[in-house]
Chains A and B, each alone.
Chain A
Amino acid sequence: MGRSDSAPSGEPDRPEVPEQRAGEGQPYLRVNDLRVRFDTEDGVVRAVDGVSFAVERGRTLGIVGESGSGKSVTSLAILGLHHTKRATITGEISVGGRQLVGLPEEQVRRLRGRDMAMIFQDPLSALHPYFTVGRQIAEAYRVHHPRAGKREARSRAVDMLGRVGIPQPARRFDQYPHEFSGGMRQRAMIAMALVNDPDLLIADEPTTALDVTVQAQILDLLSDLQAEFRSAIILITHDLGVVSQVADDVLVMYGGRAVEQGSVEQVLRRPQHPYTWGLLSSVPSLHGDADADLVPIKGNPPSLINLPSGCAFHPRCRYAGRNGDRSFTEVPELRPAGEAGHLAACHLPVDERTRLYQEDVAQVGVAQ
């Protein structure tokens, strides 16, 4: 169920030596059959239920889905930020050759902020209101460079503030988050995430809380910095426009599972899952018919405690039942969907899906 075979090199090696780096051509991040479960009073929440993907250095994976699809839970699991008492995590998360699931908290902590860093959605609430921006960045540097003095950390932080395009960085260092504008705050957040040259950067809806004009600047900045630092980036978003702009690969999540994954070209231009079609039809396109109506996906995201039987998307899918009862009884596996590296979890035969997409969705002219 939901297992990816996009990285055909077999089982990732489980290094005994934690510091070992991944070999050449190995993806920097490899997630295999990740499951995150929360035991709550109402029942077991399967927030992530068997997701696999890999990201190489210098490449960007976009994870797309509605709220509650498991995209943020996945990223927090990679960083090891779930509370061990409340969340049960199984599967494999390999970062630079190190297997993180089951690693003692102290060892994961040493990687956090140094090898893998995160940018959060709302920089106003994600930055501490009582500390200066500079101090927070310098703190992130010093925790992983214990021998660095205050002055060195400060100059490094000022340098990073300048690199992310904040004017007068030395003066801005001593200001508090509330004295920054929204866009500048997110730049500061990015500076903090990049201060230790992480190889993996996870950006969780980094532009959602920002003005549209600022959004583009932040995305450009991320692309530029990626070219400079050659880090692997995971970009979590519900905005397909953002994905098409900056991502190389896409993972579409629904109800805690991957329903489609592949390159941006494959997933956005030749989508093979009705849920992806729905996502594409619900965003306006510059190239399509200006008068075409946007089509929302009817219904609500499923409850993660009590997922619909069979394909979790079936209650909202207009094609459910076309292929017998399987949509209602059998969970569809991720299977090759035509091209190499393109996977989708749908019971409909690939050629029927291709036809339906051409007739029902692409015709309307909303898809890119």
Chain B
Amino acid sequence: MTRFLVRRLLSAVLTLFAVSVLSFLMFFGLPKDPVSGMCPKNCNAERLERVREELGLRDPLPEQYANYMKGIVTGRDLGSSQGGRCDAPCLGYSYVNSEAVTDTLARVLPVTLSIVIPAAVLWLVLGVGLGIISALRRGTALDRLAIGFSLAGASLQLYFVGAVLLLIFTYNLRITPVPSYTSIFDNPLKWASGLVLAWVALAFLFSAIYARLSRAQMLETLSEDFVRTARAKGLAKPAVYGRHALRAAITPVVTIAGLDVGSALGGTVITETTFGIQGLGRTAVDAVKAGDLPTIMATVLISAVFIVVANIVVDLLYAAIDPRVRLR
């Protein structure tokens, strides 16, 4: 177990290192000059040169990368035009937003968490519940309804579902306010009402996938010998289905769910854009458009961290569920 964790953490660090090098290289491979966007008015070659100098963009690439990494570990001095001293973990100073990237993250990360975590709870409960029930009631009207729901969810796109929800609930019925983010600590009610449409849209699309997956898993498990054994023992249906069948059926769902939640935390660009909420995903896209290297690096790295951590969590869960899985 300890050995497993140490090994996985080491490989996680390696993965993140590779991700950071790649995104660094890709940024400088872009045909766009990051400085050009920074002085829209009265720019001359001399001024641009000075900005480049200040940002350290004239240093050799390895040196720039080393400085960036050093900033994360020990902090570094960015110069007066970029907020001066930047403490570890220093992710740099945004080229466009005039704030330290860590401050940007502190602002947008809670937004994405607030969108993804409640939506994930909703889609897991709804999707797995629906899948299990329709497996147990196979062939009934309810089952067919669930299959139709899955098909709809799998075929529709978020920007469409989101737009329809907005049209109905915000603009026609006026039940929900225009989506916005309020911190849960300031006003939980406003937090929930501002995000509820995003949760519903995400939950609808994802639960469709989970309903289909868990229905298939449950049907497969129900034909397993050990389910027949459970019935032969005289166990009542709740114990047969809930204790024996569900536990085996849920294992693959846990894997997919962990990876989905991990990648959703890395940014829900389309959701954020559809509902006009500034979260991690939109921040990343804006940074790419503006050529804002420090913000790009930070958002890419944080998404990578989510995915790496999700993978480790899935493996741990797997071992907790299935005694045949040994972590080493």
Contact with A along B47-76 (1 / 0, CB 8 A): 000000000000000000000000000000
Say whether B234 contacts A130, CB under 8 Å.
Answer: no
Q: A109 contacts which of B224, B228, B236, B324 (Cβ < 8 Å)?
A: B236
Asked if A235 is at the interface of the complex by the 8 Å CB criterion, the answer is no
List the A residue with the shortest CB-CB distance to B321. A130
> Quick one: which of A103-119 are within 8 Å of B by CB?
106, 109-114, 117-118
Partner of A120, one of B229, B236, B239: B229
Q: Is B233 an interface residue (CB 8 A)?
A: yes
B113 at the interface (CB under 8 A from A): no
Instruction: Tell me the residues in window 302-328 of chain B with beta carbons closer than 8 Å to chain A beta carbons.
Output: 321-324
Q: Are B234 and A110 in contact (CB under 8 A)?
A: yes
A143 touching B225 in the complex, CB below 8 Å, given contacts A129-B248, A129-B324, A130-B322: no
Contact B226 A129 (CB under 8 A): yes
| Bound: A278/B37 CA distance, A | 91
Q: Name which residue of chain B comes closest to A128, CB basis.
A: B226
> Given that A122-B225, A129-B226 are known contacts, is A176 also in contact with B323, CB under 8 Å in the complex?
yes
Residue of B whose beta carbon sits closest to that of A127: B226
Assess the B225–A129 pair: CB atoms within 8 A: no
Q: Indicate if the CB atoms of A112 and B225 lie closer than 8 Å.
A: no
A interface list, Cβ under 8 A from B: 79, 81, 106, 109-114, 117-118, 120, 122, 125-130, 139-140, 143-144, 176, 178, 192
Whether B233 lies near A192 (C-beta < 8 A) is yes
Q: Is the CB–CB distance between A128 and B235 below 8 Å? A: no
What A residues does B226 contact at CB under 8 A? 125-129
Q: Given A122-B225, A143-B234, 9 other A-B contacts at CB below 8 A?
A: A81-B231, A109-B235, A120-B225, A126-B229, A128-B244, A129-B324, A139-B239, A143-B233, A143-B236
Measured in the bound complex, the distance between the Cα atoms of B323 and A178 in whole Å is 9
Query: Which of B230, B234, B244: most chain A CB closer than 10 A?
Result: B234
- B8 CB to closest chain A CB (Å) equals 23
**How long is the Cα–Cα vector from A288 to B61 in the complex, in angstroms?**
88
Instruction: Indicate which residue in A114, A127, A144 contacts B229 across the interface (CB closer than 8 Å).
Output: A127
**Is B232 within 8 A of A111, CB to CB?**
no
With a cutoff of 8 Å between Cβ atoms, the chain A residues found around residue B323 in the complex are 129-130, 176, 178
Interfacial chain B residues near A109, Cβ < 8 Å = 234-236
Q: With A120-B229, A176-B323, A176-B324 in contact, is A125–B234 under 8 Å at CB?
A: no
- Tell me the bound Cα distance from A222 to B89 in angstroms: 69
Chain A residue nearest in CB terms to B224: A125
Q: Which residues from B are CB-within-8-Å of A114? A: 234
Give A112 to B233 CA distance when docked, in angstroms.
6
Cα distance A112–B240 when bound, in Å? 13
Q: Whose C-beta in chain B lies nearest to the C-beta of A121?
A: B225
| B20-33 near A? 1/0 per residue, CB < 8 Å | 00000000000000
Q: Are A143 and B322 also in contact (CB < 8 A) when A110-B234, A126-B229, A129-B226 are?
A: no
Known A129-B248, A143-B239; judge A112-B229 contact (CB<8 A). no
Q: Is the CB of B233 within 8 A of A113?
A: yes
Which secondary structure dominates chain B's binding surface? helix
Residues in chain B within 8 A of chain A (CB atoms): 224-226, 228-236, 239, 244, 247-248, 321-324
Q: Which residue of B lies closest to A85 (CB)?
A: B139
Among A112, A128, A176, the residue within 8 A (CB) of B232 is A112
**Measured between alpha carbons, how far is A111 from B324 in the docked complex, in Å?**
33
B221 to chain A, nearest CB (A): 10
Contacting pair B225 A113 (CB below 8 A): no
Q: Report whether B321 and A81 are in contact in the complex, using a CB–CB cutoff of 8 Å.
A: no
Report Cα–Cα, A140/B239, bound state, in Å: 11
Q: Give the contacting residue for B225; candidates A126, A144, A176; CB below 8 A.
A: A126
Given A125-B224, A130-B247 in contact, is the A143-B235 Cβ separation under 8 Å?
Answer: yes
Contact of B231 among A112, A128, A129 (CB under 8 A): A112
A114 to B232 Cα, complex, angstroms: 10
Neighbour of A118 across the interface among B232, B235, B324, CB < 8 A = B232
Which chain A residues border B225 with CB–CB below 8 Å? 120, 122, 125-126
The chain B residue sitting closest to A117, CB to CB, is B232
**A79 contact set on B, CB distance < 8 A:** 232
Contact of A128 among B229, B236, B321 (CB under 8 A): B229
List of B residues within 8 angstroms of A127 by Cβ:
226, 229
Nearest-Cβ distance from residue B231 to partner chain A, whole angstroms: 6
Contact between chains at A130 and B231 (CB < 8 Å): no
A139 to B239 CA separation, bound complex (whole angstroms): 10
Q: Take A81-B228, A120-B225, A122-B225 as given contacts and tell me if A140 and B247 are in contact as well, using a CB distance cutoff of 8 Å.
A: no
Which residues of A have CB within 8 Å of B229?
Answer: 120, 126-128, 192
**Which residues from chain B contact A118 at a C-beta distance below 8 Å?**
232
Known: A120-B228, A120-B229. A129 touches B236 (CB 8 A): no
Report chain B residues within 8 Å CB of A125: 224-226
Residues A130 and B232 in contact, CB atoms below 8 Å apart = no
Cβ-closest chain B residue relative to A113:
B234
Residues of A within 8 A of B236 (CB): 106, 109, 143
- Shortest distance in angstroms between A86's beta carbon and chain B's nearest beta carbon? 10
Contact A111 B234 (CB under 8 A): yes
Q: In the complex, A242→B224 CA distance in Å?
A: 27
Determine the distance from Cα of A81 to Cα of B248 in the docked complex, in whole angstroms.
Answer: 20
The 10 closest A-B pairs by CB, nearest first: A113-B234, A112-B234, A125-B225, A113-B233, A128-B226, A140-B233, A126-B225, A118-B232, A176-B323, A126-B229
With A81-B228, A120-B229, A122-B225 as given contacts, are A129 and B234 in contact (CB-CB < 8 Å)?
Answer: no
Least CB distance, B320 to chain A, in whole angstroms: 10
Given the complex of chains A and B, what is the CA–CA distance between A176 and B232 in angstroms?
A: 20
Alpha-carbon gap, A110 to B247, bound state (A): 24
Taking a contact as CB atoms under 8 Å apart, the answer to whether B324 and A139 are in contact is no
A139 pairs with B232, CB closer than 8 A: no
In the docked arrangement, what's the CA distance between A143 and B239, Å?
Answer: 10
Chain A residue contacts of B231, Cβ below 8 A: 81, 112
A139 and B235 contact, CB distance less than 8 A: yes
What is the CA–CA distance of A127 and B224 in the complex, to the nearest angstrom?
10
| CA–CA, A280 and B226, complex, Å | 34
A129–B318 CA distance with the chains assembled, in angstroms: 13
Most buried by B among A81, A129, A130: A130
Return 24 A-B CB contacts under 8 Å, by A number. A81-B231, A81-B232, A112-B232, A114-B234, A120-B229, A122-B225, A125-B225, A125-B226, A126-B226, A126-B228, A127-B226, A127-B229, A128-B248, A129-B248, A129-B322, A130-B322, A139-B235, A140-B233, A143-B233, A143-B239, A176-B323, A178-B323, A178-B324, A192-B229
